[in-house]
């Protein structure tokens, strides 16, 4: 568990020593500074949860130091202390972002309570930010819909692994619900009261992944205008989901392996080892074993992540769950869109059952949302389903009909021509927006960019 870090800045040695002993007895990690300049140097090297600072100090006074601390580390709580109380000074300190103002001499119990309340408020604010979009009740196991044999086996496995500390690898096609399952594991584990954070390894530029995971110090790189905690530090005692783990660059794989082995890391530009207790859930829609064979993914990291593997079935492997899922989404979007659609026409159900769902549950959800938005009757009719499915079926149903001439073909050239043609069509449909084109082709942004460069198609698109 990461202890709360407190910086004491006071020019009186006796006061520094007194606060150092008192705060360490309370279980805090304490650093000391004898003036404002020393305090700033420490803040630039590390992240402090709270600064307890005298207003009158040599070289740089408390108010000036307060301004600079807030500019470098906005999340740090600052409490001002002084023997020279004045209303004007107190107001000025509060306007500059001080949490509170304490006058010497102060009672020990008073200062302990102010610090405790300040840190509790800070922790609560951080939790609210993390959990703002999360309704915990959504992530009970019964929120994962389906009663097919494959899903019943999945529920049984989730109930066994959720209470453990074990790292988990979730595999399955895009749209099968890997993030939902990861959240269900977290919110049914002893870590449920601690943060759940996610990183899509394929959506973050390679140069920023280390900073996202491990944080950075002010000035570590061009855009590092202040010190920032990384996701591992935020997720301490909780869970981190590393989605699209196959896209993690090899250099970052080495650094992640160290975190798994040592349970510690350094911020970008930092020198201090930060110890954390984080459960890692990794997710991928790729074949990681193949990536290991091709030296694109480290074997030692693969075995560290793949302690328990949860393979999610595709929707076409559990067709008996299509109708219950469709009804669930029908109710959800009827309420959200203020429609009064009470059921689906039998023909509409048949159409849904006949489709293969290459996009799995996510695609079914999108189909129902679109149909509900367009439906004007009290029953979901086939018309609004067909308008979407007719666009998809010619592309997705069955193999491509190609003839092989007697003299043979250049397979690599045919594949490249087909790939280039599909890239152009995707960009045309999305009006040159690469991110949308990647989603349309069900590849990540980095993979799309590589293919565009390969065929010289980068110009004229965003």
Judged by DSSP in three states, 261 sits in helix
pLDDT at 248: 94
pLDDT at 398: 44
Looking at residues 297-313, what average pLDDT do you find?
95
Query: What does residue 197 show for φ and ψ, rounded to 5 degrees?
Result: -125, 155
**Does position 1 have pLDDT exceeding 60, yes or no?**
no
pLDDT at 234: 92
> How is residue 375 written in tokens?
């439906």
The residue to which tokens 């399955």 are assigned? 172
- Contact of 426 with 437, CB cutoff 8 Å: yes
> How is residue 91 written in tokens?
């107001």
| Residues in a beta bridge with 265 | 274
Model confidence at 390, in pLDDT bands (50, 70, 90)? low
Closest by Cα among 286, 294, 278, 279 to 311: 286
**Does position 235 have pLDDT exceeding 60, yes or no?**
yes
Residue with the bigger pLDDT between 210 and 125: it is 210
Residue with the bigger pLDDT between 121 and 234: it is 234
What is the distance between the terminal CA atoms of the chain, rounded to a whole angstrom? Answer: 44
What number of other Cβ atoms are within 10 A of residue 387's Cβ? 12
Q: Which phi-psi region, left, alpha or beta, contains residue 408 (left: φ > 0; alpha: ψ -120 to 50)?
A: left
Q: What percent of the chain has pLDDT over 90?
A: 47
Model confidence at 459, in pLDDT bands (50, 70, 90)? low
CA 127 and chain centroid, separation? 14
Residue with the bigger pLDDT between 92 and 133: it is 92
Its sign, for the CA torsion 118, 120, 123, 127, is negative
CA 79 and chain centroid, separation? 32
Cis amide linkage into residue 364, ω under 30° from 0: no
**Does position 443 have pLDDT exceeding 50, yes or no?**
yes
Judged by DSSP in three states, 25 sits in helix
Rounded CA gap, 387 and 363, in Å?
14
| Residues in a beta bridge with 274 | 265
pLDDT at 23: 93
Residues in the chain: 462
Edge-to-edge order in the sheet of strand 239-243: 196-200, 239-243, 279-284, 168-171, 308-311
Q: What is the mean pLDDT of the chain?
A: 86
| Residues in a beta bridge with 243 | 200
pLDDT at 44: 86
Domains of the chain: 5-131 (3.40.50.2300), 136-311 (3.40.50.300), 319-396 (1.10.8.60), 411-454 (1.10.10)
Burial code (b: 16+ CB inside 10 Å, e: under 16) for 117-152 equals ebbeebeeeeeeebeeeeeeeebebeebebebeebe
pLDDT at 382: 86
Rounded CA gap, 382 and 384, in Å?
6
Looking at residues 107-136, what average pLDDT do you find?
72
DSSP-H helix ranges across 238-287: 250-262
pLDDT at 86: 62
Most confidently predicted of 248-257, 393-402, 411-420: 248-257
DSSP-H helix ranges across 283-410: 288-293, 299-305, 322-336, 346-354, 360-374, 382-396
DSSP-H helix ranges across 30-189: 36-45, 62-72, 87-95, 108-131, 149-161, 178-187
**Does position 126 have pLDDT exceeding 70, yes or no?**
no
Rounded CA gap, 122 and 161, in Å?
32
Looking at residues 416-439, what average pLDDT do you find?
84
Angle of helix 382-396 relative to helix 346-354, nearest 10 degrees, comes to 20
The model carries a pTM of 0.64
pLDDT at 183: 92
pLDDT tens digits along 314-362: 998 999 999 999 999 999 999 999 998 988 988 889 889 888 888 899 9
- Decide: residue 88, CB within 10 A, 0-12 exposed, 13-18 middle, 19+ buried: exposed
CA 63 and chain centroid, separation? 36
Rounded CA gap, 16 and 22, in Å?
10
Model confidence at 85, in pLDDT bands (50, 70, 90)? low
Judged by DSSP in three states, 386 sits in helix
Looking at residues 21-49, what average pLDDT do you find?
91
pLDDT at 395: 44
**Does position 394 have pLDDT exceeding 50, yes or no?**
no
Looking at residues 286-301, what average pLDDT do you find?
94
Model confidence at 100, in pLDDT bands (50, 70, 90)? confident
pLDDT at 58: 81
């Amino acid at each position: 568990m990461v202890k709360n870090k407190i910086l004491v800045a006071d020019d009186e040695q006796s006061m520094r020593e007194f606060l150092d002993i008192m705060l360490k007895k309370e279980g805090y990690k304490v650093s000391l500074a004898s003036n404002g300049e020393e305090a700033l140097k420490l803040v630039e090297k590390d992240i402090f949860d709270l600064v307890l600072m005298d207003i009158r100090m040599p070289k740089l006074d408390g108010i000036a130091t307060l301004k600079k601390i807030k500019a470098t580390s906005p999340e740090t709580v600052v409490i001002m202390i002084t023997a020279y109380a004045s209303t004007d000074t107190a107001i000025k300190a509060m306007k500059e972002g001080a949490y509170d103002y304490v006058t010497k001499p102060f009672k020990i119990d008073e200062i302990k309570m102010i610090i405790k309340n300040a840190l509790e408020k800070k922790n609560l604010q951080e939790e609210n930010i993390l959990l703002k979009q999360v309704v915990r009740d959504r992530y009970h196991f019964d929120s994962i819909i389906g009663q097919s044999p494959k899903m019943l086996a999945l529920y049984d496995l989730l109930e066994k692994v959720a209470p453990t500390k074990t790292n988990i690898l979730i595999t399955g096609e895009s749209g099968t619900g890997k993030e939902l399952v990861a959240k269900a594991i977290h919110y049914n584990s002893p870590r449920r009261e601690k943060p759940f954070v996610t990183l899509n390894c394929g959506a973050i530029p390679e140069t920023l992944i280390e900073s996202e995971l491990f944080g950075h110090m002010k000035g570590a790189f061009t855009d590092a205008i202040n010190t920032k905690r990384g996701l591992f530090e935020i997720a301490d005692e909780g869970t981190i989901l590393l989605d699209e783990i196959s896209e993690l660059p090899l250099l970052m794989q080495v650094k992640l392996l160290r975190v798994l082995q040592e349970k510690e890391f350094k911020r970008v530009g930092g020198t201090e080892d930060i110890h954390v207790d984080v459960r890692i859930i990794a997710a991928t829609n790729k074949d990681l074993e193949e990536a290991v064979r091709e030296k694109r993914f480290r074997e030692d990291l693969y075995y560290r992540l793949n302690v328990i593997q949860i393979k999610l079935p595709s929707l076409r492997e559990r067709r008996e769950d299509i109708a219950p899922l469709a009804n669930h989404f029908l109710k959800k979007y009827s309420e959200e869109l203020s429609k009064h659609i009470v059921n689906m026409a039998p023909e509409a159900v048949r159409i849904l059952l006949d489709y293969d769902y290459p996009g799995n549950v996510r695609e079914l959800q999108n189909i129902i949302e679109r149909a509900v938005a367009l439906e004007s009757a009290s029953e979901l009719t086939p018309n609004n389903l067909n308008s979407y499915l007719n666009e998809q079926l010619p592309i997705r149903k069955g193999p491509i009909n190609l003839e092989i001439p007697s003299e043979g073909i250049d397979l690599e050239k045919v594949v490249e021509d087909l790939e280039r043609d599909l890239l152009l069509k995707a960009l045309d449909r999305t009006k040159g927006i690469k991110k949308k084109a990647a989603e349309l082709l069900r590849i990540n942004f980095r993979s799309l960019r590589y293919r565009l460069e390969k065929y010289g198609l980068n110009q004229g698109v965003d």
